[in-house]
Homo-oligomer: A and B are copies of this chain.
Amino acid sequence: MTRRSFHHESEDARRQALVAATLECIVDFGLQGATVRQIADRAGVTAGLIRHYFAGKDNLFQAAYREVVETMFDTAQRSADEHQGDPLARLSVFVLANFKPPVIDQRMLALWATFIAQTGVDPALAGIHREGYISYRETIEHLVKDAMEAAGKASTPEDRRAQAIAINGVIDGLWLEGCMAADMFSDGELGRIALLAVERLTGLTLPIEDPHFLKKD
């Protein structure tokens, strides 16, 4: 029996590769199929190596969830950051970013749902989720505040809190719909619906910078 050849990797690269393999396995085989052997196989290493980088399977899964949360959050966040100085555009692109890949993606939904489901079992996952949720809502609240001020509209903190909660809800809910049943919506439809909803919820009029969401007629 000849021994398998291998080469060393930097610690970061290996960890990230294992996390990536974990996510792929969850998408392809579900939580049940995402076993250490399956994951190791996907990453091109042997199962034992996982224990060298992570204290256990739970630990690996937590790292994987962190990556998912960051991907979803950072995508929208970065979109907004491209429009410094224009609060209305910032709010608009932030909302719309949630309705393009990589955020809107059936695989992303599978990952998200898998981890949300585990939230009740692994408190560490619950913590990661909550942290991300709070950041997200604070970001929305901040965006709304700036947008309202830019439009010269008065609003109380209570208003903004309720608006942020509602906007977060619309985004989440429509994102769900889009991931689950992409074929039921025309191109850019969900983004436009989301933006319209945000306009009605806030009373603002928002610009559409992204040609992908422009209504064609």
- Chain A contact residues, CB within 8 Å of chain B: 27, 29-33, 106-107, 109-110, 113-114, 116-122, 129-130, 133, 162, 165-166, 168-174, 176-177, 180-181, 185, 190, 193-194, 196-197, 200-201
A200 to B159, CA, bound (A): 14
The residues of B that contact A27 with a CB separation of less than 8 Å are 120
11 CB < 8 A contacts A-B: A31-B117, A109-B116, A110-B119, A110-B120, A116-B117, A162-B196, A165-B177, A169-B172, A170-B173, A172-B173, A197-B201
Partner of A114 from the list B117, B166, B169, B196 (CB cut-off 8 Å) is B117
Query: What's the least CB distance linking A76 to chain B, in Å?
Result: 15
Given contacts A27-B120, A113-B116, A117-B114, contact A130 B172 (CB under 8 A): no
Does B166 lie within 8 Å of A196, measured CB to CB?
A: yes
Contact of A168 among B118, B173, B196 (CB under 8 A): B173
- Contact (Cβ within 8 A) B30 A32: no
Kindly list chain B residues whose C-beta atoms are within 8 Å of the C-beta of A176.
Answer: 169, 172-173
The complex places the Cα of A26 from the Cα of B170 at a distance, in Å, of: 28
CB distance from A147 to the nearest CB of B (A): 16
B31, B122, B170: the one within 8 Å of A170 (CB): B170
Most buried by B among A106, A109, A176: A176
- A30-B118, A169-B172 known; 20 new pairs, CB 8 Å cut-off, are A29-B121, A30-B120, A106-B120, A107-B120, A110-B117, A116-B117, A119-B180, A133-B177, A133-B180, A133-B181, A162-B196, A165-B190, A168-B173, A168-B177, A169-B173, A169-B193, A170-B170, A171-B173, A172-B172, A173-B176
Chain B residues positioned under 8 Å from A120 (CB to CB)? 27, 30, 106-107, 110
